Every structure is written in C-alpha cells, then in structure tokens.
Structure 1
C-alpha cells in the first residue's frame, strides 16, 4: 500500500471515528439533557440561597456568636462545593466542544497544504471538513441553554442580581 493510499485511508478512518463520536455526544446530550437542566437549576437556586444566608449573617456581624460564624463557614463550604459542581459541568462540556473546534481548524489547515496530484487525501480532507461543518457538537440543558463556560458569566450576573435584590428587601424589612 502506498503512502498516498495510506494517508487517504487514515483520513477516512478519522472521519468514521468523528462520526461515531458525534453520534455519541448526541446520545449523551439527549440522555443527560434533563438531568443537566435540573442540576444547573438546583445549583443556581442553592447558590443564591446560600450566598443570601451568608450575606445576612455577615450583615449581623456585630452580634454574631462563634456558632453563627461556624455556620457561616459551613455555608460557605457548601457554596464552594456547589460552584465547583456547576463549574465541572460547564467546563467538561466546553472542553469537548473546543476539541471538536480544534479538529475543524486542523482539517482546514491540512486542506491548505500542497499535495501531489492524484492523492485522494485532499478529497477525503474536503469531505471531512464538510462533515465537521454539518455536525457541530454542543451540549445543552434540555435544549434550553448551551452548557459551556460562557454560561458561567450569566450565572454570576444572575446570582449577583438576585443577591442584591434579596439584600435590599431584607434591609427595607429591617428599617420597618
């Protein structure tokens, strides 16, 4: 088998592998989409509630006992655990998508290389590039939002907004 045929066969095998991996990500996405939605939603609600409780405890700092301070530390540990759980979901999804994008960039670069005439490798690379464009990989929470690192910005903004609103209500309640 010549080098030209071997390269062409290798690219064809990569196309098959990518097709299998793409199908696998779709299966994982459909199987765990609802679970991801519930996990992200519960983590979000718990993070807001825990940050609010910690903030209220810290606002009452002048009358805080050592027990309250210990409770605040425990709540902070739970909050960190929930943030880490949420981050791991977003990060793992983002890594898979970035690797697929990296594959697409590499195939595009390989298409730009000059190859000898009669080499079927260029045709296989062209087909692989088209396959990559048609079958983009992404993870979502039951189709409602994409799971990636950009979601973290939205979550931080939403937690901050809710925290400010809840603290304002608590302070206005205290003034009455």
Structure 2
C-alpha cells in the first residue's frame, strides 16, 4: 500500500481543518493542489485573525470565567494563546503546502528503495491501522476531557463559562489535529528507521558470495587488465572489484543512502512544522500554568463541598490534553532521534575483516555520516524537542506559578 493511500483518512480531516490543500486521486495515487481548498484556507486564516484581534482589543466579561482581576488576566491570556496557536498553525500549513508534497515524495522514494533495492516490505497497511487506533485514542481523550469540563461547569452553574468554552473549543481541536499530523510524520520516519536498523543488523561483510556474472567474465577481465597493469596492481584491482560486488556491501551502501534520505526528510519535517511546534508548545505551557493556578485558588478556598471538588477536577482535567500533547511529542521525538545511536552501534557490530581497507573505509564514512547527520527535531530552531523539554516545562510552570501566587497574595493585601 502506498503511503498516500494509508493517510487518506487523515488527509480528509486536515482538509476540514484547513491544514492541507492537497487532494488525493484514489485511483492513480497522485496528489494535486486544490484551488478551492486554498480559498477555504485563506478564508479560515482571515476569520482566525479577526477573532484574534477581537479578543485582543475587546475585554468582554462574557469570555471570562473568573471573579477576580488576576483570574481575568489568566483567562484572557489562555484564550488569546489558543487563538494565536490556531491562526499561526493554519497560516504555516498554508505557506508550507508545497513542502508537504515534498515530504510525501521523499517518503515514497524511500519506500521504493526499500522494496526494490533491499527487498524489504514497508507495511503501510499496518501503519494505517496503527494511526487510526492512535487517532481514536487521542480524540477520545480530547472529547472526554472537554465533556467532563462542560458537565462540571454546568453543575456549578457557571453562566459565563459556556461562551468562553465555545470560543476555546474549535481552535483547541484544530491545534490537536495539527499535533496528530506531527505525530504521524514522526512515526513515518521512525518506522523506516526501524526497518533500516533491522536490515543493518542482518549484514555480514565476511560472507562474501561470488557473483555468477562476475565469474563468467573473470578470465576476460583478468586477461584485459593483465595487459595494461603489473601483476601486483592487477591482483589488487580484482580484489577490490570482487569485494565491492559483495551483496552485503551493496546493501550497506544502500543503507547509507537511505539514512541520508531519512535525515533530509527530518529536515523537511522541521521546516514544515517548526513554527507550529513552537507556538503550540508555548500555548500548552500557558494552559498548564493557568490551570495549576486555578487549582491553587480552589484549594485555598476549599470547603469540602461538591462544587469545590468539581472546580478542582475540571481544572486538572483541562490540563490533561495539553500535558498529553507535550508528553507524546517529547517521547516520540526523543526515541526517534535515538535511532541514530542504535544504527551506529549496529554498524560497528557488523562482522568484517579488519585488514580489508574497502570495508573499513565504508564503515568509517558511514560512522562520520551518523556523527554529522544526527536526527534532531526542533521548534523552529529555538529548542530541541526531546525529554529535556518536559523538565524545562515543569520548571518554568513552577516558576510562573509562584509568581502568580505572589501577585494573588499582593492583590489580597491591597484589597484588605
């Protein structure tokens, strides 16, 4: 199954969210730009920007769910943050629409080399099943959290929250869809790195098999070469010629080329999603910090009533999708980037002759390639996406939460 066919369902969802302007021809498997979808994306960007500007310059109490000044400010920052993330996400998707097709072409070429040159089947059908299952799980987490929040606010009779929730909901789901698109792209790269590592671990350069075609023409080649080269140079030439005809050596050279192509695909991925990752991770940080602040306020005035419990639970559940986004993104990027180290270790476990200059040269060049072409996922170059991001967000959330608490205590002292 072609990679485009396996992603048709995701492509349809992205078309609805104005995150892609590409249509898929199911019969021919080709993709092409749609002018209608481009117009739809432009209109969506305009609407998103209008709502963003309206939210910035209009401080309407209907969009806030707090009864104090700092709470108003926190809610205001949170709704503006999700709108900025929404507008930037759609704008980046529109501007990088041509680069999206480049990533698909790169993956198609990689799959063709796997199947034709390495005789390795890239199971895109299993990938489609896996992605559908993960998409359903992610959607279930989003829906469950939002419905619980709405139900909790309905029970505590918060009349302002419903309007605030409606204006928050649509950008929230579009940003979630963008996250899933990023997860899918990284998963595609990781799956091919797994195939590459498995193929590399099967190599054995000592197991040199003579080619029938080479044997049939060997006498002619020797006779021709011996007429133009000294005996020593002739034997050295034939040794290298036969050595490079080793099928495992050929496979190793193909693996080098495939790794280079996967590294280029990672660069394309960073270029396509870098700004979205930066803005959405920043918005997740704002949401996590804001809800931690609300949990603090609810615990401060906690009187062991059912309404107080619902307020705390709704703030905690509100943070769940945002924590989920950052956690999955960091773990997925970190484990994919670690494949470079795994490939390097697999390369040096290959059985080879240490006196063979050809083998040593190829392995040395591949090692240098792995050293200088490390797989790195970044947020538009501002910071790398790995497990250290979780530690950084936890530390920053704690710092800003302490600052918000200090402002709250200062406000109480001024009021009293």
Please report the TM-score for the alignment, with normalisation by the length of structure 2: 0.39
State the SS of the aligned residue for 1:40.
helix
2:264 is aligned to 23
Alignment of 1:86-165 (within 5 A): 86-107=326-347, 109-110=348-349, 115=353, 117-118=355-356, 120-165=358-403
**2: distance between equivalents of 1:75 and 1:116?**
62
Deviations 1:21-75 (A, max 9, x none): 101100001100001001100000111001101111111113x642232122121
1:60 is aligned to 301
2:281 is aligned to 40
Are 1:54 and 1:72, in contact at CA under 8 Å, matched by a contact in 2?
Answer: yes
1:2 is aligned to 209
**2: distance between equivalents of 1:172 and 1:119?**
73
Of 307, 312, 315, 1:75 maps to: 315
Task: Say which one has the larger Rg.
Answer: 2
State the SS of the aligned residue for 1:167.
helix
**2: distance between equivalents of 1:25 and 1:168?**
43
**2: distance between equivalents of 1:134 and 1:53?**
46
State the SS of the aligned residue for 1:38.
helix
State the SS of the aligned residue for 2:285.
helix
Q: Which runs of 5+ in 1 are unaligned?
A: none
Task: Please report how far the alpha carbon of residue 117 of structure 1 lies from its aligned counterpart in structure 2 after TM superposition.
Answer: 4.3
Task: Please report how far the alpha carbon of residue 110 of structure 1 lies from its aligned counterpart in structure 2 after TM superposition.
Answer: 3.4
Greater RCO (CA < 8 Å, at least 6 residues apart): 1
State the SS of the aligned residue for 1:120.
helix
**2: distance between equivalents of 1:6 and 1:92?**
34
1:168 is aligned to 406
**2: distance between equivalents of 1:116 and 1:82?**
52
State the SS of the aligned residue for 1:110.
coil
Are 1:138 and 1:146, in contact at CA under 8 Å, matched by a contact in 2?
Answer: yes
Once superposed, what is the RMSD of the aligned Cα atoms? 2.0
